[in-house]
Amino acid sequence: MPSYTVTVATGSQWFAGTDDYIYLSLIGSAGCSEKHLLDKAFYNDFERGAVDSYDVTVDEELGEIYLVKIEKRKYWLHDDWYLKYITLKTPHGDYIEFPCYRWITGEGEIVLRDGRAKLARDDQIHILKQHRRKELEARQKQYRWMEWNPGFPLSIDAKCHKDLPRDIQFDSEKGVDFVLNYSKAMENLFINRFMHMFQSSWHDFADFEKIFVKISNTISERVKNHWQEDLMFGYQFLNGCNPVLIKRCTALPPKLPVTTEMVECSLERQLSLEQEVQEGNIFIVDYELLDGIDANKTDPCTHQFLAAPICLLYKNLANKIVPIAIQLNQTPGESNPIFLPTDSKYDWLLAKIWVRSSDFHVHQTITHLLRTHLVSEVFGIAMYRQLPAVHPLFKLLVAHVRFTIAINTKAREQLICEYGLFDKARGMDSTEDIPFYFYRDDGLLVWEAIQSFTMEVVSIYYENDQVVEEDQELQDFVKDVYVYGMRGKKASGFPKSIKSREKLSEYLTVVIFTASAQHAAVNFGQYDWCSWIPNAPPTMRAPPPTAKGVVTIEQIVDTLPDRGRSCWHLGAVWALSQFQENELFLGMYPEEHFIEKPVKEAMIRFRKNLEAIVSVIAERNKNKKLPYYYLSPDRIPNSVAI
Write the single-letter amino acid at 297: K
**358 falls within a domain:** no
Answer yes or no: is pLDDT of 148 > 90.
no
Distance CA 319, CA 322 (A): 10
- pLDDT value of position 592: 94
Residues at the binding site are: 17, 39, 79-80, 368, 373, 519, 642
**90 falls within a domain:** yes
pLDDT band for position 180 (cuts 50, 70, 90):
low
More confident residue, 13 or 467: 467
User: Stretch 309-330: mean pLDDT, rounded?
Assistant: 98
The fraction of the chain above a pLDDT of 70, given in percent, is 90
Helix pair angle (178-189, 563-576), 10° resolution:
110
The total number of residues shown for the chain amounts to 642
pLDDT band for position 642 (cuts 50, 70, 90):
confident
More confident residue, 420 or 66: 66
Mean of all residue pLDDT scores within the chain: 90
- How many domains would you assign to the chain? 1
Answer yes or no: is pLDDT of 57 > 70.
yes
pLDDT band for position 172 (cuts 50, 70, 90):
low
Answer yes or no: is pLDDT of 116 > 90.
yes
Q: Which of 402, 500, 387 is nearest to 118 (CA)?
A: 387
- pLDDT value of position 76: 83
- pLDDT value of position 39: 92
- pLDDT value of position 420: 34
For residue 32, give the CATH number of its domain.
2.60.60.20
pLDDT band for position 173 (cuts 50, 70, 90):
very low
Asked whether 290 and 361 are in contact (CB, 8 A), the reply is yes
Answer yes or no: is pLDDT of 296 > 50.
yes
**342 falls within a domain:** no
Asked whether 521 and 631 are in contact (CB, 8 A), the reply is yes
**86 falls within a domain:** yes
Q: What is the pTM of this model?
A: 0.92
Highest mean pLDDT among 156-160, 281-285, 524-528: 281-285
Answer yes or no: is pLDDT of 422 > 80.
no
**43 falls within a domain:** yes
Answer yes or no: is pLDDT of 38 > 90.
yes
Answer yes or no: is pLDDT of 356 > 70.
yes
Residues at the binding site for Ca(2+) are: 17, 39, 79-80
**7 falls within a domain:** yes
Distance CA 373, CA 396 (A): 19
Residues 583-596 have pLDDT tens digits of: 899 999 999 999 99
User: Stretch 495-518: mean pLDDT, rounded?
Assistant: 96
- pLDDT value of position 403: 81
Answer yes or no: is pLDDT of 406 > 90.
no
**DSSP classification of residue 299:** -
Domain extent, residue 27, equals: 3-114
Residue 364 C-alpha from the chain's centroid? 12
- pLDDT value of position 216: 58
**377 falls within a domain:** no
Distance CA 537, CA 354 (A): 8
Answer yes or no: is pLDDT of 192 > 70.
no
Answer yes or no: is pLDDT of 215 > 70.
no
pLDDT band for position 417 (cuts 50, 70, 90):
very low
**39 falls within a domain:** yes
- pLDDT value of position 182: 54
Residues 3-36 have pLDDT tens digits of: 999 999 999 988 899 999 999 999 999 999 999 9
Residues 447-457 have pLDDT tens digits of: 999 999 999 99
pLDDT band for position 150 (cuts 50, 70, 90):
confident
Q: Which of 611, 543, 535 is nearest to 573 (CA)?
A: 535
Residues at the binding site for Fe cation are: 368, 373, 519, 642
Distance CA 482, CA 324 (A): 40
Q: Which of 9, 16, 97 is nearest to 54 (CA)?
A: 9
Asked whether 496 and 478 are in contact (CB, 8 A), the reply is yes
Cβ atoms within 10 Å of 7's Cβ, excluding its own: 15
